[in-house]
Structure 1
Amino acid sequence: MSKEPSFEEKEVDLRKSLVETAERAIALRNKDREFHGVEREFNYHQAQMIVDYERTKDIKHPRDLGNARETLLRSFLTDSGYLPKKYAVSDLSVRVASETGHISNEIDIAIYDSEELITLMKRQDVYEVYPIESVYGVIQVKSNLTKKELKSGFKNLESFKKLKDSSNNPNNKFALLFAYCSDMKWEDIVKEIKEFSKENPKSVYPNAIFILDLGFFIFGEEDGSRAITNVDIQSLQKVSLRGFPDRQQLNLYQFQTILLELLRSANVSPANLGSYFRLPLVTEEASYQFTLGSFAEVEKCEKHGDYAKKIPAESLEIIVNWCLKSEPINWVKATNIAYNLPEDEEAYKRQPQVVYIYNPDGLDLPDILTYELKDDEGNVMATPLAYDMIETNQMNIWIPYYYSVKESLISGCIKCEKEKIKKAK
């Protein structure tokens, strides 16, 4: 009894038959006129790209190999004529930055607004840093899509889709995964993509996954409707994965049409260079900055020298959540209370900025916002302020040193901490 052909084997036979039929039809149309649509052109482009990809297998160094395969797709985008001139394609790998201080992993190809782009950093011929505002979307390129490479591609694209644009426009910047081939079975690819979609929010889903010699995948509703743009993906009620095997050697055409749809729905805006002058510090999803900048960021350890003060993610969350439930106070008024000075309503009106003071124990402000600086004989020389000022979540927050020490809100010298852990063992 003969063995039932696998899905992949059936697809190979079906594709061969359909491609041969299409090629015969194209040959007949060629006799009638020179141009009869882009079907033939994309058929040629895809066939040539696969040939060029096979030639790159002679390259031994992994980075050179990766660059060569990125170049194949990059050249198609820039030279084929199917990408409108208003869209520019990065020459190098790119990292994309946000005003929040977050930055993406290394991205193979970025498509950006050539008229408004400012390059935030350039490192020789290795990679560049672009502001998120100028980028329409990104493409991560893989050679042979293995389970490991699929997860790695998702991770890089996720790092881009998590970035926040400074504009008030809805985020419709896209992220595509493009591979030349895969040794994985179709059902295994489906399984991996479904697992990713179950474990992650829709906001970080890739807009499409293409495997040049196999087909492509997009998300949609269970009723069969497709979701390409971020808005459509976010509105999905019951997420379903839709797979389209490439049976006519037109996967590159499908890639280009979806790319154009995503580009036309994406939004860009001018980046403010000043907002990238000194980026906030980041803690996972959140970010913050010390109001006094570098003067407040640096502390000195008597043993190890300078170290950077940082607020761990869990500490920042505690501080922000408490402050959101508290009432802000005029900063001049808070200072006057700390120094037992009389009320000054005129001063409060002239300087109306408010602050949140982290004070979960409800202590008197003079006890936590100042401290007495004494000489060797115990005489009070001055009463300086005793708190850190940070900006986060659109709030100005004062964190008294008292709570920083009591609750270990701000990290100390990392080297000292490591030594303590080592001794404890």
Structure 2
Amino acid sequence: MGNEIFRNRLNNIIKQCISEAQDCIKLEHHGMAGNVRQILIEKLLVPLLPEGVHIGSGKVTDSSGNLSSETDIIIYDRRTVPPILYDEKIGVFPIETIYYVIEIKTTLTKSEFDKSIRNGQKLRSLRGPQPHSALFAFNSDLKNSKDSDRFIQAQKDMLVPLPINIFCVVGREYGFWDHVWKVLPDTDNNDVIVGFLVGIINTVVKAIHLRQPSLDPGWYFYPGYDPF
């Protein structure tokens, strides 16, 4: 009974968020629609994250000053190096503090997918412990093939960690890399979204207990100094 209560509550939140996302897709203002989509994903994530773990948006940096591309959602822990924030959420986040970066798409097209792969490669070029790199899409332009084929084929010759090692396309598929690709098709019970959220919760909780700092946080305050 207890498990049913948790799942039912999550399903109710998911249904509300997906309904609102479908409404916002109809908005003509691209920037506004993007902001609404991001808020909806945060609504799903915030109640599930453990104490001390936060959600932001912006860029990831390493101690050498290298920067990632701009990212929709960054899941981070500010108990080591605090980010540089320009408002409550937007800022620059040290890679040592980050668990997940997540890009959000209304419809995953080839051009948007290729851009996300490039963004993931830029993230992987930063020095430090690599976070999970995820893509969440509310829809896909693929009609006769699986979204998993797109992710698998594009990255089959790339080194791990892959530029995108987790994906979720609403109503279609959820997949993640764990030595091999593991893919879950959707059902009528929001399984792909639940899988995506549960995967985040599980890995973040484990990382809090297992992750050891690879860099003393103070080195961020010595520009140009290479501690490695």
TM tier, shorter chain?
0.7 to 0.9
Structure 1 position 155, deviation (Å):
2.3
Q: Which residue of 2 aligns with 1:257?
A: 198
Task: Give the Å deviation of 1:152.
Answer: 1.8
Q: Output the CA distance in 2 between the equivalents of 1:107 and 1:64.
A: 16
Following superposition, the deviation at residue 82 of structure 1 comes to 2.0
Instruction: Please provide the CA RMSD for this pair.
Output: 2.8
Give the equivalent residue in structure 2 for 1:63.
31
Kept in 2, the 8 Å contact 1:108–1:141? The answer is: yes
Is there any run of 5+ residues in structure 1 with no aligned partner, and where? Answer: 1-32, 166-170, 220-226, 228-235, 281-391, 395-425
Q: Which amino acid aligns with 1:108?
A: D
Distance, in Å, in 1 between the alignment partners of 2:2 and 2:150 is 44
Q: Distance in 2 between matches of 1:189 and 1:134?
A: 30
Give the match's secondary structure for 1:47: helix
Aligned pair in 2 of structure 1 residues 145, 39: CA closer, same or farther (>3 Å)? same
Matched AA of 2:75: I
What is the total number of aligned residue pairs between the two structures? 223
Three-state SS of the structure 2 residue aligned to 1:202 is coil
Where does residue 38 of structure 1 map in the other structure? 6
3-state DSSP class of the match of 2:5? coil
Partner of 2:101: 138
* Counterparts of 2:172 and 2:154, CA distance in 1: 20
Displacement of 1:127 in angstroms is: 3.7
For 1:420, the equivalent position in structure 2 comes to none
Percent same amino acid at aligned positions? Answer: 22
1:47 corresponds to which letter in structure 2? K
- Corresponding residue to 1:89 among 55, 68, 81: 55
Q: CA deviation at 1:173?
A: 2.2
**Aligned residue in 2 for 1:326:** none
CA drift at 1:148: 1.5
Larger radius of gyration: 1
**Which amino acid in structure 2 is aligned with residue 259 of structure 1?**
I
Task: Provide TM-score, normalisation by structure 1.
Answer: 0.47
In the alignment, structure 1 residue 185 sits paired with structure 2 residue 147: no
Q: Distance in 2 between matches of 1:130 and 1:82?
A: 21
**Is the CA contact 1:134–1:268 (under 8 Å) kept in the aligned structure 2?**
no
Q: Which residue of 2 aligns with 1:98?
A: 62
Q: 2:17 maps to what in 1?
A: 49
Shift of 1:72: 0.6
Other structure's SS at 1:108 match? strand
Cα distance change of structure 1 residues 190 and 58 upon mapping to structure 2, 3 Å threshold: closer
C-alpha contact 1:147 1:184 (8 A) present in aligned 2:
no
Once residues 35 and 200 of structure 1 are traced to their aligned partners in structure 2, the CA distance between those partners, rounded to angstroms, is: 39
Deviation digits for residues 30-55 of structure 1, max 9, x if unmatched?
xxx89843222222122111101012
Q: For 1:202, give the aligned amino acid.
A: V
Q: Against the structure 1 CA distance between its residues 83 and 147, is the aligned structure 2 distance closer, same or farther, given a 3 Å change threshold?
A: same
| Structure 2 length-normalised TM | 0.83
Q: Which residue of 2 aligns with 1:108?
A: 72
* Distance across 2 between alignment mates of 1:147 and 1:207: 17
The one-letter code matched in structure 1 to 2:66 is: H
SS in 2 for 1:184: coil
Where structure 2 has 5 or more consecutive residues not aligned to the other structure, the ranges are: none
> Relative to structure 1, is the Cα distance of residues 216 and 186 closer, same or farther in structure 2, using a 3 angstrom cutoff?
farther
Q: Which amino acid aligns with 1:42?
A: L
| Deviation of the 1:258 alpha carbon | 0.7
| Deviation of 1:104 (Å) | 0.5
